[in-house]
């Protein structure tokens, strides 16, 4: 009897290990995540968990020397709200479920709050359950810069606006089809324009048309 119960315990332990491994696997952002890091628990951004991957600020060095739009700190502070400045210019983060666009279902386009570049489309937005606006692709990849972010003992990909260097959020590889990507973005780094207004804006700003 003792032998059987030991065997049952052993099998249960193996099953639990396999289950936990399977649980963690799709949540890992990169195979190079250091052993013992909290990445497996954090990458899916559980609600109200301050240690979730999206919820942690970034510490990467963004090269501002090549950005098209450059402003002094005084100009940034004049343009942005304190919350927008903290998130977009100081690589901060906002609380999940308590931000402008996490639950937005309006049809339109999301612009960079720092330079008014169109970055994300509501047609690529999906319900990630994280409490932050999430997209499976950007509007135009050329406008999105990526930096490897190893802060907080995790390996993440920080994303920012390439035009002005404003921090946007992080990119994970556990998104839905067709890309499998999840751009976890701070609302504070975005502004929204309805589809009708965007169409007008795009027509006015398209190449070959002079601004009237
Ligand atoms: Zn920008």
99-148 pLDDT, tens per residue?
A: 999 999 999 999 999 999 999 999 999 999 999 999 999 999 999 999 98
Q: Using DSSP, state whether 128 is helix, strand or coil.
A: coil
> Ligand 1 centre and the CA of 3: distance in Å?
65
pLDDT of residue 205: 87
Residue 94 has pLDDT above 70, yes or no: yes
pLDDT-derived band at 47, boundaries 50, 70, 90: very low
Residues in the chain, how many?
212
pLDDT-derived band at 174, boundaries 50, 70, 90: very high
How is 190-209 classified by DSSP, letter by letter? EEEEEHHHHHHHHHHHSTT-
151-171 pLDDT, tens per residue?
A: 878 888 999 999 999 999 999
Neighbours of ion ligand 1 (CB under 5 A): 112, 114-115, 117, 161, 163-164, 166
Asked which of 24-38, 84-98, 111-125, 162-176 is least confident by mean pLDDT, the reply is 24-38
> Ligand 1 centre and the CA of 186: distance in Å?
13
Asked which of 24-28, 60-64, 172-176 is least confident by mean pLDDT, the reply is 24-28
More confident residue, 83 or 25: 83
End-to-end CA distance of the chain: 87
Tokens representing 161 are 């606006």
pLDDT of residue 53: 59
pLDDT of residue 65: 82
Q: Please check whether residue 148 is in contact with residue 30, taking contact to mean a CB–CB distance below 8 angstroms.
A: no
Q: In sequence order, which residues have a C-beta less than 8 Å from that of residue 110 and are 6 or more positions away?
A: 101, 118, 119, 120, 121, 122, 133, 185, 190, 191, 192, 193
Determine which one of 45, 112, 164, 184 is catalytic.
Answer: 184
More confident residue, 64 or 77: 77
Task: Report the CATH architecture of 61-205.
Answer: Beta Complex (2.170)
Average pLDDT on 9-14 reads: 43
pLDDT-derived band at 63, boundaries 50, 70, 90: confident
In order of 4, 181, 193, the CA distances from 67 in angstroms are 67, 25, 23
* Paired residues of 167 in beta bridges: 160
pLDDT of residue 209: 58
pLDDT-derived band at 66, boundaries 50, 70, 90: confident
pLDDT-derived band at 19, boundaries 50, 70, 90: very low
Residue 208 has pLDDT above 90, yes or no: no
> Ligand 1 centre and the CA of 112: distance in Å?
5
* Paired residues of 170 in beta bridges: 158, 184
Tell which residue, 171, 175, 168, 163, has the closest CA to residue 191. Answer: 168
Residue 86 has pLDDT above 70, yes or no: yes
For this structure, is 115 an active site residue? no
């Amino acid at each position: 009897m003792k032998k059987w119960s030991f065997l049952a315990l052993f099998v249960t332990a193996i099953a639990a290990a396999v289950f936990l491994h399977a649980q963690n696997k799709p949540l890992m952002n990169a195979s190079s995540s250091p052993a013992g890091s909290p990445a497996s628990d954090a990458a899916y951004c559980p609600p109200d968990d301050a240690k979730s991957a999206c919820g942690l600020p970034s510490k990467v060095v963004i090269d501002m020397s090549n950005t098209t739009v450059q402003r002094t700190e005084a100009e940034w502070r004049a343009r942005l709200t304190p919350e927008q400045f903290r998130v977009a210019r100081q690589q901060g983060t906002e609380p999940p479920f308590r931000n402008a666009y996490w639950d937005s279902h309006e049809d339109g386009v999301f612009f960079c709050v720092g330079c008014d570049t169109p970055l994300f489309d509501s047609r690529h937005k999906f319900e990630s359950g994280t409490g932050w606006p999430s997209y499976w692709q950007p509007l135009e990849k050329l406008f999105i810069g990526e930096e490897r972010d190893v802060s907080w003992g995790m390996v993440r990909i920080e994303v920012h606006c390439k035009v002005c260097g404003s921090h946007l959020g992080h990119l994970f590889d556990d998104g839905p089809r067709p890309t499998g990507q999840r751009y976890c973005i701070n609302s504070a780094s975005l502004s929204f324009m309805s589809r009708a207004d965007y169409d007008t804006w795009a027509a006015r700003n398209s190449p070959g048309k002079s601004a009237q």
